[in-house]
Amino acid sequence: MDLALAGMQFPAGTVLDGEGVVYVAGRVDCSAAQSRANSTPSRARLLAEAHSAHYAVFSIPSHPEHGDVRDGRAYWW
Q: Which regions in the chain score pLDDT beneath 50?
A: none
Do the domain assignments include residue 6? yes
Do the domain assignments include residue 76? no
Do the domain assignments include residue 21? yes
Do the domain assignments include residue 75? no
Sign of CA dihedral 28, 51, 41, 6: negative
The reported pLDDT for the residue numbered 52 is 83
The reported pLDDT for the residue numbered 17 is 92
State pTM to two decimals: 0.65
DSSP, res 75: -
Do the domain assignments include residue 43? yes
Answer whether 11's CB lies under 8 Å from 62's CB.
no
Range of the domain at 58: 2-68
Do the domain assignments include residue 74? no
Do the domain assignments include residue 19? yes
Query: Whole-angstrom Cα distance, residue 24 to residue 76?
Result: 31
The reported pLDDT for the residue numbered 47 is 85
Looking at the 3D structure of the chain, how many domains does it have? 1
